[in-house]
Amino acid sequence: MMKRGSFFCIGWCVLCVASVATASITQHPATLNNDGVTAYQAGKFIEAIRYFEAAYKLAPESAVVRRNLCNAYQSEANALAANGELNRAVRYLEDAIKVDPENVSPLIQIGAYHLRADNLNAAIRRLEEAITLKPGDLDAHELLGQAYYMDNDLSSARVQWDYVLEVAPQRPGLHERYEKAFREESVEYDFNKWKSRHFRISYPQGIPGSMRAGVFSVLDRAYVDIGRRFGGVYPPPPIHVILYTSEQFSEATRVDGHVGAVYDGKIRAPLTDADGNWLTDDELERRLVHEYVHVVVRYLTGGNVPWWLNEGLAETLSRPLGEQDMRRLREHFARGDAFSLAALEDNQINQLPPDALRLAYLQSHATVDFLWNRYGRIKMMAVMRALGNGMGYEEAFHAAYRRNYAYIERDIANMYR
């Protein structure tokens, strides 16, 4: 039973309130606070915020009111982030930090959201503040390590993760990330650096000047051209690009030999083939543009995207379907061995044997090429926005196109029979 004359603290971090007396403030803010608790416990976070803000206006010195208001801001931010609305979530967390500046929790939460949105500078700033406020917080150190890693500061990332692993060696997935960073640092330690307004590029010594200039030009042009094709979508800088020889690429990424480049939060691409020959300008441009499309897709969807759409967009916007592609598609559809779109949703598709994987890429390319040319960019962007808001894959597809997967699969099959 809730008493009207005393404060209750809720949510993310429980505060002991037994010693709080109503004499310190009037009955009115206590009533507002407790009405806020009732709304909060019912999951009505906006209503709870209104009550707590009113109580805070009357009793700004109350630690209980400040903590409850902070918790309500955090809970509403969490709900928004779950629906992909990171910008709105961040605004609530900025308010939470202002109202409860000694609370480390909203600093860690906002750092995680900035990291999720690839706003690396903001993520690093907030997570460094969190560690200053509460040194030793494992979540803050692990997230700061991830932010440093994404910013390609590998040694600083490993310092943060060293501490976490020393205190909590069973931290899920952290050993693997630590080893990955160590492996990359051992390859990239003496790489040269170059940056433009949008990109930070690392590359090995001995790269011909004309090739370096070509890479820089391709990336800056892709930023403009791909952004325009998506209707004015430009991910925030810095976008990290790591260039390797073929041998270095294999050592740093541990991917199979048939993989031409990867995007894992950074664009990684070899400049040579397996025999040590420099890639042609056209091939290098295709690979870089393909991976840059993944940057834009991640920015739009937060990573909530089916494999076929992600790879299909990257293929469609980096090269046209050729006559040989169309002939292979006709052969596969004639044999009836094409994939369903549902089977092409999961990133585990990358584990397929090379021939099957090539078919998966080709079919994804053909599907997105069809959707883009038949229904236009606006429908495609509607799918991306729905995915960015956390909607399921086929649900988002149906919401934009008013068609299910099976309908489009029939259209594609009919095109290539």
Last residue of a domain, one of 172, 187, 202: 187
Residue 15 lies in a domain: no
Q: What is the DSSP letter of 347?
A: G
**Neighbouring C-alpha atoms within 13 Å toward the C-beta of 75:** 22
Residue 202 lies in a domain: yes
Do 146 and 202 belong to one domain? no
The model's confidence at residue 350, banded by pLDDT at 50, 70 and 90, is confident
pLDDT of residue 347: 85
How far apart CA 191 and CA 203 sit, in angstroms, is: 5
User: Count of domains in the chain?
Assistant: 2
CATH number of the CATH domain containing 167? 1.25.40.10
How far apart CA 268 and CA 260 sit, in angstroms, is: 9
Task: Give burial (CB, 10 Å; 0-12/13-18/19+) of 276.
Answer: exposed
Do 410 and 337 belong to one domain? yes
Quickly count: other Cβ atoms within 10 Å of residue 326's Cβ.
14
pLDDT of residue 21: 40
Note the pLDDT tens digit of each residue in 185-231: 999 999 999 988 899 999 999 999 889 999 999 999 999 999 999 99
- Which residues fall within 8 angstroms of residue 7, CB to CB, at 6 or more apart? 17, 20, 30, 33, 34, 62, 64, 65, 68
Last residue of a domain, one of 129, 153, 187: 187
Torsion on CA atoms 48, 53, 58, 62, rounded to nearest 10: 80
Size of the chain, expressed as the number of residues it contains = 417
In this structure, are residues 154 and 190 in contact, taking their beta carbons and an 8 Å threshold? no
Residue 361 lies in a domain: yes
Name the residue range of residue 54's domain. Answer: 22-187
Do 177 and 201 belong to one domain? no
pLDDT of residue 16: 36
Do 134 and 270 belong to one domain? no
pLDDT of residue 12: 53
Question: Can you name the residues that pair with 268 across neighbouring β-strands?
Answer: 242, 262
Do 148 and 207 belong to one domain? no
Residue 322 lies in a domain: yes
Kind of pairing between the strands at 192-195 and 199-203: antiparallel
Average pLDDT over residues 141-154: 96
Is residue 161's pLDDT more than 60?
Answer: yes
Q: Helix (H) and strand (E) counts for the chain?
A: 17, 5
Q: Quote the Cα angle for 225-113-222, to 5°.
A: 10
Single-letter code of the amino acid located at 346: D
Quickly count: other Cβ atoms within 10 Å of residue 172's Cβ.
7
Note the pLDDT tens digit of each residue in 220-273: 999 999 999 999 999 998 999 999 999 999 999 998 777 899 999 999 999 999
pLDDT of residue 354: 87
- Residue 388's closest CA among 175, 137, 183, 118? 118
Average pLDDT over residues 393-410: 95
Residue 13 lies in a domain: no
The model's confidence at residue 17, banded by pLDDT at 50, 70 and 90, is very low
Residue 158 lies in a domain: yes
In this structure, are residues 16 and 6 in contact, taking their beta carbons and an 8 Å threshold? no
Do 289 and 326 belong to one domain? yes
pTM of the entire structure?
0.82
Kindly give the residue spans of alpha helices, DSSP state H, lying in 42-83: 45-58, 63-82
Do 88 and 206 belong to one domain? no
CATH number of the CATH domain containing 274? 1.10.390.10
Average pLDDT over residues 88-94: 97
How far apart CA 317 and CA 302 sit, in angstroms, is: 20
Do 107 and 245 belong to one domain? no
Question: Can you name the residues that pair with 241 across neighbouring β-strands?
Answer: 201, 267
Do 182 and 198 belong to one domain? no
Do 103 and 197 belong to one domain? no
Average pLDDT over residues 102-122: 96
Last residue of a domain, one of 134, 154, 187: 187
Is residue 4's pLDDT more than 70?
Answer: no
Do 97 and 161 belong to one domain? yes
Do 233 and 175 belong to one domain? no
The model's confidence at residue 5, banded by pLDDT at 50, 70 and 90, is very low
Task: Classify 260 as helix, strand or coil.
Answer: coil
How far apart CA 25 and CA 62 sit, in angstroms, is: 8
